[in-house]
Structure 1
Amino acid sequence: MSVALRGPSELRGPLIISAVVHGIAMLALLVVRTAAPPTLPMMYEVNLVAAPAGERAVGVVREQAPEAPTPPAKAPVPVRAERSDPGKTAPIKAPTAKAPMRATPAPTPPAKAAPALRAPAAGGGAVGGTGTDVATVRTEGIQFPFPGYLQNIVRQIALNFRPRNPGALTAEVLFFIHQDGSVSGFRFVQRSGNFAFDVEAEGAVEAAQGRFGPLPSGFGDDILPVSFRFDPARLR
């Protein structure tokens, strides 16, 4: 039985192929590991914080009257000095007897007019209800450079959020506001565990989305992701 031995030239080809295959596999593994994760959009978390609700009152809504402008001060008119004629002297008058002074009665002060009754000013919501005058808008993470826009988001949602028997329930939602003010991508980040409460939270965003308005012109992104937390305890 004879055994044929391979020379170095016959083994060179398979070794080169094996080295190339292993090199490609290692390069692919390094590319997969060093690939950067996808960039997520900036997130702005808004907590619903409002001032206490005012008592309901029947009345009229008054507009503040503009302040009257202060009239400009008039310049004093210069008094012309009378020229005296040195050639003429005033005749000396004989003193006349003074008539006896009569006591003048003290002037009667005019009667003060009764102040006109003004209609009471209209009040806010019912006692213990939801306040709509937002006092604080708190953002966590990246500071949004247009706080007035966030304040309007909170105000519009608070006006449409009317949960029944909320108790200590809270919920957090996420939605995206586009440049034209439209809303998309609504979803719950954390549900309250109460179906009626979650329905009210979703309905408040749907009812208010037409009143957010377009994104500020100075905002550089196309969409504004907002994480919104519903906490009725802060609205009492």
Structure 2
Amino acid sequence: EDEDSTSSAVQLWRRTNCHSAAVPTLARRLRAAVSVQGLAGSGLMQNANAATPWLFGPLTMAQLHLRTLLSDARSEWTEERAALTGRRRPDLIIVSLGGNDFNHQVGHAPSAEKFGQAYSRFLASLFTATAEGDAHAPPGLVVVSICGQGSPADLAFDPDNNRCRPCPNVEAAVHTFRRERPSLATRVHYVFVPCDGSVVREEHGSGCQGHMTPRGQAAVADFLVPRVAKIMQWGEGADYDAGSM
């Protein structure tokens, strides 16, 4: 029994693990320090399966994104906290939100207008105050919103798990934000990761609950590396010299 349990744990680790997710892999490729704020099932306006709130709780990433510990609302972004912990404040924030708002909601997805407004407010919050409301984001902060990262295998496993479903709304929200806030327009970007199998292939979708395997996550990182490096002007090829994200 112990051997079976160990074998199952090893197989699960091979199929899905946070260390091999796309963003940590991207950070290693770009030689960047990284901190990942995320919670399975979290959305921007509503969490996955919002009709059963006990599954994921009432807080969305709009409230949780500044936390390193989900139970601690103090932000790590203030200069005081950064000095205390020795952590750098971010040069780059990658936002990947929308899928849980629009999938698995039994017909109760937000309207494009309301989602766009919420997304714009979220982007603005990244450039203004931290959770304490007494400090501003680092000068020169860049935000890259990404969407997609799916494959045909996702829909084969779960027809209500279309990772590209929110993308038109995310893209529109980013463009609206840039148009309405011209002073920040060059610091907010949108990157679409196709769901047609050209990036994440069918064999990459056999991880836990239909999520990508580490190979699929690596494929997304491969797609993002040159695009993020170009946006951040972090060099080319093996000469990346990144900051923190």
Please tell me the TM-score bracket, short chain as reference. Answer: under 0.3
Structure with greater Cα Rg: 1
Higher strand content, 1 or 2: 1
TM-score normalized with structure 2 length = 0.20
The normalised TM-score by structure 1 is 0.21
Greater relative contact order: 1 or 2 (C-alpha under 8 angstroms, separation 6 or more)? Answer: 1
